[in-house]
Amino acid sequence: MASFNPIKIFSGSQSNYLAEKVARHYGRDLGGYNLRKFSDGEMSPSFEESIRGCDVYLIQSTFNSSENFMELLLMIDAVKRASAHKITAVIPYFGYARQDRKDKPRVPIAAKLVANLLTAAGAEQIMTLDLHAGAIQGFFDIPVVHLEGTSVFVPYIKSLELDNLVVASPDVGGAARARNFAKFFNADIILCDKYRKRANEVASMQVIGDVKDANVVFIDDLIDTGGTICKAAELVMSKGAKSVRAICTHPVMSGPAHERIRTSMLQELIVTDTIPLREENEKIKVLSVSELFAKAIGRIRDHESISSLFINPA
């Protein structure tokens, strides 16, 4: 039986570009929302229409991670106090997900802290896309709708009709992600084993597997400074690859990333619009996930399976 609670969709101040497309695909306008800022930067959000008894979807990716996340927490608190029936935080890009374990002494598990804060604020469900690690879903004590970027990436790669396709991971930790993607094409996989001296700086890298005369497609969840993926692309081309592309769901693209991509051996970088590009780049292809999120909202409304949105390997 379908829900009788009205659906209302709102966007945080930095995710309007995506939320408007989600709402349009869903078949309605975004709800009225206003964010006021004090002179010292303190934020005060307000909703310009009644949300009492509604199923509310709040769309906000957490980039800039700190400010956008704080705005989302305040939005959740506001709709909870306005007597919303159910609150879903739609976080296309889930910031702090890279800090999902203690990899050295005296560091936080930031992904768990973020999960606790979202729950404490009043979120009753989370919807996100391609988490850095699927295990992060277990950090929540509320339902997590974890969508997959393969829904948009697989059709695009198939449209290129690449022969001798090889799927690659830019690091050993992404082997499972590469293996799952390779199943859609019955393709072989290769790995790049990298060593870092510090964050965002690769000291050395080597290829595990044969790439000679192959069209290589790297698969990863995000691209930050671009150092790893550009170095990996150069390495596989030096080993005899025919071409190299990269798929990265979340285009964080900080620091020198754009210039690195422009001057890299990559033929194409394929990303989604979970984060807006801060500048145009002729090598970057952006695929929208707005329809995917709109369909997921519709499935939840109608109490239908979310897994029906996923693409299954042949």
pLDDT: is 203 or 87 the higher one? 87
Q: Is the pLDDT of residue 3 over 60?
A: no
Q: Is the pLDDT of residue 314 over 90?
A: no
Q: How far is CA 20 from CA 15, 63, 290, 293, in A?
A: 9, 18, 9, 12
Q: Give the whole-number percent of the chain exceeding pLDDT 70.
A: 95
What's the pTM? 0.93
pLDDT of residue 201: 56
pLDDT of residue 1: 46
pLDDT: is 204 or 67 the higher one? 67
Mean pLDDT of the residues in the chain: 93
pLDDT of residue 194: 67
Residue 93 — φ and ψ, nearest 5°? -110, 115
Torsion sign, CA atoms 273, 274, 280, 281: negative
Q: Is the pLDDT of residue 158 over 60?
A: yes
CATH code for the structural domain at 150-287: 3.40.50.2020
Quick: pLDDT tens for 9-22.
Answer: 999 999 999 999 99
- Model confidence at 313, in pLDDT bands (50, 70, 90)? confident
Domain ranges of the chain: 7-148+290-309, 150-287
| R_g of the chain computed on alpha carbons | 20
Torsion sign, CA atoms 199, 204, 209, 210: positive
Helix axes 175-182, 150-160, angle to 10 degrees: 60
Catalytic residues: 194
Q: Is the pLDDT of residue 287 over 70?
A: yes
Number of Cβ atoms within 10 Å of the Cβ of 38: 8
pLDDT of residue 116: 97
Domain 7-148+290-309 CATH (choose: 1.10.1040.10, 3.90.1170.50, 3.40.50.2020, 3.10.129.10): 3.40.50.2020
Same fold, 7-148+290-309 and 150-287: yes
pLDDT of residue 64: 78
